[in-house]
Amino acid sequence: MDASLEKIADPTLAEMGKNLKEAMRMLEKSPRRTEEENGKKPVSEDIPGPLQGSGQDMVSILQLVQNLMHGDEDEEPQSTRIQNIGEQGHMALLGHSLGAYISTLDKEKLRKLTTRILSDTTLWLRRIFRYENGCAYFHEEEREGLAKICRLAIHSRYEDFVVDGFNVLYNKKPVIYLSAAARPGLGQYLCNQLGLPFPCLCRVPCNTMFGSQHQMDVAFLEKLIKDDVERGRLPLLLVANAGTAAVGHTDKIGRLKELCEQYGIWLHVEGVNLATLALGYVSSSVLAATKCDSMTLTPGLWLGLPAVPAVTLYKHDDPALTLVAGLTSNKPADKLRALPLWLSLQYLGLDGIVERIKHACHLSQRLQESLKKVDHIKILVEDELSSPVVVFRFFQELPASDSAFKAVPVSNIAPAAVGRERHSCDALNRWLGEQLKQLVPQCGLTVIDLEVDGTCVRFSPLMTAEGLGTRGEDVDQLITCIQSKLPVLTCTLQLREEFKQEVEGTAGLLYVDDPNWPGIGVVRYEHANDDDTSLKSDPEGEKIHTGLLKKLNELESDLTFKIGPEYKSMKSCIYIGMASDDVDVSELVETIAVTAREIEENSRLLENMTEVVRKGIQEAQVQLQKANEERLLEEGVLRQIPVVGSVLNWFSPVQASQKGRSFNLTAGSLESTEYTYVHKVQGTGVTPPPTPLGTRSKQRLPGQKPFKRSLRGSDAVSETSSVSHIEDLEKVEQLSSGLEHDNLEAHSPEQPPRATDLTARQTEALQNQAQHQEDDHSQMGTRVQRLKV
- Measuring CA to CA, how many Å separate 309 from each of 137, 353, 559, 659? 10, 16, 49, 99
Contact between 225 and 217 (Cβ < 8 Å): no
**Over the stretch 154-211, which tens digit does the pLDDT of each residue have?**
999 998 888 888 888 888 999 999 999 898 899 999 999 999 999 999 999 988 666 6
pLDDT of 742 higher than 50: no
- Measuring CA to CA, how many Å separate 697 from each of 198, 545, 691, 707? 68, 22, 12, 12
Higher-confidence position of 583 and 414: 583
Q: One fold for both 358-397+419-489 and 494-528+538-602?
A: yes
* Residue 236 neighbours by CB under 8 Å, 6+ apart: 150, 153, 154, 157, 174, 175, 176, 265, 266
**Over the stretch 621-637, which tens digit does the pLDDT of each residue have?**
777 778 777 777 766 66
> Which CATH number is associated with domain 109-356?
3.40.640.10
**Over the stretch 53-110, which tens digit does the pLDDT of each residue have?**
677 776 777 677 777 766 654 454 444 444 556 666 667 777 777 777 788 888 888 8
Q: How confident is the model at residue 609 (pLDDT cuts 50, 70, 90)?
A: low
**What confidence score (pLDDT) does residue 52 get?**
67
pLDDT of 783 higher than 50: no
Q: How confident is the model at residue 724 (pLDDT cuts 50, 70, 90)?
A: very low
How far apart are alpha carbons 394 and 216 in whole angstroms?
26
- Lowest-confidence pick of 258-267, 302-311, 569-578: 569-578
**Over the stretch 384-404, which tens digit does the pLDDT of each residue have?**
556 789 999 998 765 444 444
Give the whole-number percent of the chain exceeding pLDDT 70.
63
Higher-confidence position of 30 and 630: 630
pLDDT of 776 higher than 90: no
Phi-psi region of 256 (alpha: psi -120 to 50; beta: other; left: phi over 0): alpha
Domain regions of the chain by residue span: 109-356, 358-397+419-489, 494-528+538-602
- Measuring CA to CA, how many Å separate 271 from each of 101, 145, 177, 275? 34, 13, 16, 8
**What confidence score (pLDDT) does residue 720 get?**
39
Q: In which order are the strands placed within the sheet that holds 509-512?
A: 509-512, 521-525, 572-576, 561-565
**Over the stretch 324-381, which tens digit does the pLDDT of each residue have?**
999 998 888 888 899 889 988 998 999 999 999 999 999 999 998 899 899 889 988 6
Contact between 117 and 337 (Cβ < 8 Å): no
Q: What's the whole-number mean pLDDT along residues 549-571?
A: 76
Query: How does the average pLDDT of the chain come out, rounded?
Result: 76
What is the fold, at CATH topology level, of the domain defined by 358-397+419-489? Aspartate Aminotransferase, domain 1 (3.90.1150)
Higher-confidence position of 232 and 688: 232
Q: How confident is the model at residue 122 (pLDDT cuts 50, 70, 90)?
A: very high
Nearest Cα residue to 599 out of 563, 545, 670: 545
Q: What's the whole-number mean pLDDT along residues 277-288?
A: 90
> Which CATH number is associated with domain 494-528+538-602?
3.90.1150.10
pLDDT of 611 higher than 70: no
Q: Is the pTM of this model over 0.75?
A: no
* Residue 515 neighbours by CB under 8 Å, 6+ apart: 419, 420, 422, 423, 424, 426, 427
Higher-confidence position of 595 and 146: 146
How far apart are alpha carbons 340 and 272 in whole angstroms?
21
How far apart are alpha carbons 197 and 188 in whole angstroms?
9
How far apart are alpha carbons 389 and 369 in whole angstroms?
13
Give the whole-number percent of the chain exceeding pLDDT 90.
30
**What confidence score (pLDDT) does residue 86 get?**
63
